[in-house]
Structure 1
Amino acid sequence: MAKILMKGNEAIGEAAIRAGCLNYFAYPITPQSEVAEYLAKRMPEVDGVFVQGESEVAVGYMLFGASGCGERVFTTSSSPGISLMSEAISYIAGAQCPVVFVNIIRGGPGLGGILPSQGDYFQATKGGGHGDYRLLVMAPASVQEAVEMVMMAFPLAEKYRNPVMILGDGLIGQMMEPVEFPEDLASEPSNKDDWASNGMATRNDDTQNLVKSLYLDPKELNDHNLLLKAKYDRMKAEEIRYEAYNTDGDYETLIVSYGTMSRVCRTAIDNLKAEGIEVGMIRPQTLFPFPEQAIHDAACKESCKVVFSIEMSMGQMVEDVQRSVLGRRPVEWYGKCGGEVPNPEEIMDVVKERI
């Protein structure tokens, strides 16, 4: 299959179509507005639907309603927009509806800035809304990987009847790279007859599916949360994804980094290797479930002396890295936010100062 040079935001929109999603609801916000611009043209060409909501709050409930009817749906937004959808995300998770969310992160908190950031890690992995719920969260490091993760996200959302979040950043959304759309990742929507709303008694059968997140009886609500927890535990058992880089041999420093930042770290690792300094890296591709065991095993290698969590934030993923290492090695953080991306030379200096 020939590769096509595409901007990240446009490739994300096309990937959703190739995955079989023909329902897109969104509200424009920088730096991901090109997704909506692209799909405003493409959806009519494939008999799809694009509705621009009057706000992100409205979009959240459009997604809830359409997914509750069993339709394959998705949205894209950026940081404050996801915050406005957080109430609906909690409802969607509580009602066990499959929806794909793409967050092209910008700087924060508040209005912040429109340049790239990884400051929404907590929001995505710890739950930006209310209640005990989790999202399956994936983090691409390239436009090609963003395409593949978007295409994978729809069957995963349906497999678990749960929202899936793709965490990119302004660089992933705005950069242009060659991409291809793997045909083997295209999929048909799963059977929805046993759970999706069927209009109550409007069908000629005795099954009346009701999609809800309201459980007024305490025991019933507790049982529902236990059911959800079992589903999240299953995700931890089956869906952890990560890349190990330069970890086969001995190294004194282990880096944990994801997304765009991991690309910078990879260059730094290669440059340090040329100077005779070995550094390994674990790159989480799923942020929930988090690759705790892989990080723990890599950190506990006899040659490893220190672990760095390197992020485009003020230190969010570092908490999960510390939890993974369990005190077996010192864990340190390095990062920037606001749109500044640490360069390879800065990462090299950080490593050299510590060894």
Structure 2
Amino acid sequence: MNKVLMKGTEAAAEAAIKAGLKFYAGYPITPQNEIPEYFSKRLPEVGGVFIQAESEIAAINMVYGASACGFRAMTSSSSPGISLKQEAISYLAAAELPAVIINMMRGGPGLGNISGSQADYFQAVKGGGHGDYRMLVYAPFSVQELWDYTIFAFEKADEWRTPVMILGDGVIAQMMEPVIQKVPELRKIDKSQWALTGAKGRPSRFIRTLLMEEGELEKHNYKLQEKYKKWNEQEIQYKTYFIDDSDIAVVAFGSAARISLSAIRKLRQEGLKIGLIRPITLFPFPEEAIRQLAQDIETFIVVEFNAGQMIEDVRLAVNGVAEVKLYGRPGGSIVTAEDVYDAIIKITKFAKAQVI
């Protein structure tokens, strides 16, 4: 299969169409604007609906309505816009409606800047809206993975009847790489038992999140928690690099992992026994994998482009068995492999041998 040079935003959009997307609603915000721009042309070509809503809040609620009718639906935005969508994301989770949400993170808090950042980790994995809900959260680190996991997200959204988030950033959104436009066989998910398709000839259905009868909400929450428990058993994904002989492990996701891997390769050439574990699912988090690594790893270095968020989950997994250090860059700045290399040298006090 031939490779096609694609920008991250365009790869995600075309992958969504290949996954059977039929409805998109969004509102412009940098650095993800090419996604709605792409859909405005392509979705009508494949019989889908594109709407530029009057606000982020309107957009996510339109997605709620389209999903409730059984259509594959999605929205996309960047950090401040995702914040505005949080209430309806909680509603989607409560109503058990499938949807895909792409967040190309930018620097914050507030309006911040338009550069790449990872400061929305807490918001994505801890449930940025209200209530005891979770989402599946995927963190691709290349344009190819952005293609692959966008398609995968639609499949998992339907399988589990849940909102799924693709957590990218301004780096992966704007970079261009060759992409193999592979499309796996899409599963046929039966939505006939819950989708609102018109009640002629059958009893009416309700999709709602207001549960007022005594004990009704608690029962529903127990049901949701059982689903999230199954995710921990079935849906965790991560990848390791150079771990087998390492004394030090970097933990990083998304673009931070991509940049860290370049620094790690250079450090290994210079004699440092260092590897990388890259969570692909941020929720569920690969806690057990990190716990097992902690039996042999002396020091974990968490590299993330924020003030330190994922490090909390790493510390919980390590549980005091090994040191956990942070290299965090919270400014929404462009971080290079040389920056990560220098930080690891400083943290580990490693100095390559002088050749005489």
So what's the TM-score if we normalise by structure 1? 0.96
Task: Please tell me whether residue 289 in structure 1 is matched to residue 288 in structure 2.
Answer: no
Between the aligned partners of 1:159 and 1:272, the Cα distance in structure 2 is 42
User: What pairs up with 1:130-141 in 2 under 5 angstroms?
Assistant: 130-141=130-141
State the partner residue of 2:274: 279
Between the aligned partners of 1:55 and 1:338, the Cα distance in structure 2 is 27
State the partner residue of 1:324: 317
CA contact (8 A) 2:137 2:281 kept: yes
Unaligned runs of 5+ in 1: none
CA contact (8 A) 1:117 1:169 kept: yes
State the partner residue of 2:104: 104
User: What pairs up with 1:288-307 in 2 under 5 angstroms?
Assistant: 288-301=283-296, 304-307=297-300
Q: 2:200 aligns with which of 169, 184, 203?
A: 203
Quote the RMSD (CA, aligned, Å). 1.2
Going from structure 1 to structure 2, the CA distance change for 1:278 and 1:69 (only over 3 Å counts) comes to same
> How far 1:297 sits from its partner (Å)?
1.4
SS in 2 for 1:24: strand
State the partner residue of 1:214: 210
State the partner residue of 2:353: none
> How far 1:189 sits from its partner (Å)?
5.1
SS in 2 for 1:183: coil
Unaligned runs of 5+ in 2: 349-356
Segments of 4+ in structure 1 off by > 3 A?
Answer: none
Post-superposition Cα deviations, 1:37-58, rounded to whole Å, max 9, x if no partner, equal 1111111211111011100000
State the partner residue of 1:71: 71
CA contact (8 A) 2:99 2:157 kept: yes
AA aligned opposite 2:136: L
CA contact (8 A) 1:116 1:338 kept: no
CA contact (8 A) 1:254 1:299 kept: no
Between the aligned partners of 2:225 and 2:59, the Cα distance in structure 1 is 27
Instruction: State the identity as a percent.
Output: 49
Q: 1:312 aligns with which of 292, 305, 308?
A: 305
AA aligned opposite 1:111: L
Between the aligned partners of 2:86 and 2:173, the Cα distance in structure 1 is 22
Q: 2:222 aligns with which of 220, 226, 232?
A: 226
SS in 2 for 1:137: strand
State the partner residue of 1:264: 259
Residues matched between the structures, number: 348
Going from structure 1 to structure 2, the CA distance change for 1:300 and 1:350 (only over 3 Å counts) comes to farther
CA contact (8 A) 1:21 1:73 kept: yes
So what's the TM-score if we normalise by structure 2? 0.95
User: What pairs up with 1:156-235 in 2 under 5 angstroms?
Assistant: 156-184=156-184, 186-187=185-186, 190-199=189-198, 202-205=199-202, 207-235=203-231
Post-superposition Cα deviations, 1:75-133, rounded to whole Å, max 9, x if no partner, equal 11101111111010001100000000000000100111111000000000001100010
